[in-house]
């Protein structure tokens, strides 16, 4: 099992340009963004004033589930009497294995497998086991859609995997994909929430905390609506479940702005959440950074990549980063960091990349063609050759992707406090 540690102790700087203070600035801004949406801290803060003395059962599902459950333990202490944790392989914090009465299920992401179905069946059974006079806490983060599933009668595992494969390969948005997933599920689209609400009705309370990785931060979309409002039309409050989004890409971007000001830099953030083709977004971000009067630009969202039949190594963030590197080639004062806040990008263990005006030259020295790499969806191999990949390990959060641009001459960065 891979090591799990807080991001500040595990963020690995790209191999290239280690002496360039501007790279340190971008990495520190990224680190701050991750800390602002840390699952453990956000859950702890959300539950700090939680009233009551009744026992609590907690279900944590998603890539940030491990950190979120630890935050619940921090806040609730002995009140947290039983928990189920469903997360991605190698995303369980060692501390969770030492917690009493925690059932841990590791599952598959981004493609579901048979463990996803087993986890869905177990989650339904767990809900039925909730005793009277018990409060329920559900902790939901991105990744839940693939990690846990229980199919409606007549639906097949082959249909499920075909849908996910088609969604990932075609560039379907996360909102569109989650809507399609819900049609095959007896737990998504608010169906799990309805079961929880019925179970605790008149005997306890139910609360759901969300770390959002979707545009609009709608509980009906996060995790394909596992704990969102019922698909039959109940309102967010109509089923008696208290729902709160405790972290999103907006929080991460705001922290970047705050830290940039502290560093003595002029920042700007795009208030729109981006989506769409990674190649087109690379053109847009490089152009906006080049034309901006600000020194730091930050964007948040999720891009898409239409994959060839036999894709190479990489993910959407690496693809966007390499496409942007081609555009800013030769621009000595421009750098872009593109990364997934969950610490993974596609099926790789890299979070993304940090590229500059010399990235393409470093790729060329390795006799790799940038255009061919993009065509084959093999951006990871090119960026590895350039020494520009970023690795964090599991971060304990998942609010989508973040792009941070820096427009600054190298000499001008040397004296800034965040570059030391």
pLDDT at 1 over 50: no
Q: Coil, strand or helix: which one is 139?
A: strand
Residue after which a domain boundary falls, among 215, 247, 279: 247
**In terms of domains, do 233 and 279 share one?**
no
Spatial contact of 338 and 401, defined as CB atoms under 8 Å apart: yes
Instruction: Give the pLDDT confidence score for residue 8 in this predicted structure.
Output: 39
**In terms of domains, do 44 and 132 share one?**
yes
What CATH number corresponds to the domain at position 297? 3.40.1480.10
Instruction: Give the pLDDT confidence score for residue 50 in this predicted structure.
Output: 74
Spatial contact of 226 and 61, defined as CB atoms under 8 Å apart: yes
Residue after which a domain boundary falls, among 247, 270, 303: 247
**In terms of domains, do 237 and 386 share one?**
no
**In terms of domains, do 81 and 103 share one?**
yes
pLDDT at 9 over 50: no
Determine the average pLDDT of the residues in 90-114. Answer: 93
- Residue 7 covered by a domain: no
**In terms of domains, do 184 and 259 share one?**
no
Residue 384 domain boundaries: 12-36+250-419
DSSP string, 157-215: HHHHHHHHHHHHHHT--HHHHHHHHHHTBSSTTTHHHHHHHHHHTTT--EEEEEE--SG
- Residue 2 covered by a domain: no
**In terms of domains, do 24 and 156 share one?**
no
What CATH number corresponds to the domain at position 123? 3.40.50.10180
**In terms of domains, do 223 and 279 share one?**
no
- Residue 376 covered by a domain: yes
Instruction: Give the pLDDT confidence score for residue 248 in this predicted structure.
Output: 98
Least confident of 7-21, 38-52, 266-280, 309-323: 7-21
Residue after which a domain boundary falls, among 229, 247, 265: 247
| Partner residues linked to 60 by β-bridges | 85, 139
Please report which helix (H) or strand (E) contains residue 297, including its range.
strand 296-301
pLDDT at 162 over 90: no
**In terms of domains, do 17 and 75 share one?**
no
Instruction: Give the pLDDT confidence score for residue 231 in this predicted structure.
Output: 58
Residue 179 burial (10 A CB sphere; 0-12, 13-18, 19+): middle
- Residue 3 covered by a domain: no
* Mean pLDDT estimate for the chain: 91
What's the domain count of the chain?
A: 2
pLDDT tens per residue, range 56-99? 999 999 999 999 999 999 999 999 999 999 999 999 999 999 88
Return the percentage of the chain with pLDDT > 70, whole number. Answer: 93
Which residue from 231, 196, 182 is spatially nearest to 124, judged by alpha carbons? Answer: 196
- Residue 195 covered by a domain: yes
**In terms of domains, do 44 and 127 share one?**
yes
Instruction: Give, in order, the Cα–Cα distances in Å from 219 to each of 243, 248, 357.
Output: 8, 12, 40
Please report which helix (H) or strand (E) contains residue 380, including its range.
helix 379-386
Query: For residue 183, what pLDDT band results from cuts at 50, 70 and 90?
Result: confident
């Amino acid at each position: 099992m891979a090591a799990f540690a807080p991001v500040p102790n595990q963020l690995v700087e790209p191999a290239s340009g280690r002496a360039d203070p501007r790279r340190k600035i971008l990495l520190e801004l990224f680190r701050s963004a991750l800390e602002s949406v840390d699952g453990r801290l956000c859950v702890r803060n959300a539950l700090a004033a939680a009233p009551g003395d009744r026992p609590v059962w907690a279900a944590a599902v998603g890539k940030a589930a491990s950190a979120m459950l630890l935050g619940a333990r921090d806040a609730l202490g002995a009140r947290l009497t039983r928990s189920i944790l469903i997360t991605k392989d190698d995303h369980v914090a060692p501390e969770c294995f030492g917690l009493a009465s925690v059932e841990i299920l590791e599952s598959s992401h981004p493609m579901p497998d048979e463990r996803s179905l087993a986890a869905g069946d177990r989650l339904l059974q767990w809900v039925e086991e909730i005793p009277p006079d018990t409060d329920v806490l559900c902790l939901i983060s991105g990744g839940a859609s693939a990690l846990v599933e229980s199919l409606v009668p007549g639906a097949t595992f082959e249909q499920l995997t075909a849908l996910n494969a088609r969604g990932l390969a075609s560039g379907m948005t996360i909102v569109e994909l989650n809507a399609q997933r819900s049609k095959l599920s007896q737990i998504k689209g608010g169906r799990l929430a309805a079961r929880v609400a019925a179970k605790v009705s008149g005997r306890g309370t139910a609360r759901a905390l969300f770390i959002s990785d979707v545009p609009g931060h709608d509980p009906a979309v996060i995790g394909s609506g596992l704990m969102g409002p019922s698909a039959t039309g109940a309102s967010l409050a109509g089923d008696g479940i208290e729902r709160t989004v405790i972290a999103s890409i907006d929080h991460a971007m705001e922290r970047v702005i705050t830290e940039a000001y502290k560093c003595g830099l002029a920042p700007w953030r795009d208030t729109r959440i981006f989506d769409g083709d990674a190649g087109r977004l690379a053109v847009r971000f490089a152009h906006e950074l080049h034309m901006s009067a600000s020194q730091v630009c930050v964007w948040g969202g999720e891009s898409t990549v239409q994959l060839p039949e036999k894709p190479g190594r990489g993910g959407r963030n690496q693809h966007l980063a390499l496409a942007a590197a081609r555009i800013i080639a030769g621009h000595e004062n421009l750098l872009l960091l593109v990364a997934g806040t969950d610490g993974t990008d596609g099926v790789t263990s890299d979070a993304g990349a940090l590229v500059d005006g010399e990235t393409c030259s470093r790729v060329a020295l390795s006799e790799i063609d940038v255009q061919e790499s993009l065509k084959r969806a093999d951006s990871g191999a090119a960026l590895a050759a350039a020494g520009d990949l970023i690795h964090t390990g599991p971060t304990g959060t998942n609010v989508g992707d973040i792009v941070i641009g820096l427009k600054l001459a190298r000499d001008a960065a040397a004296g800034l406090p965040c570059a030391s």
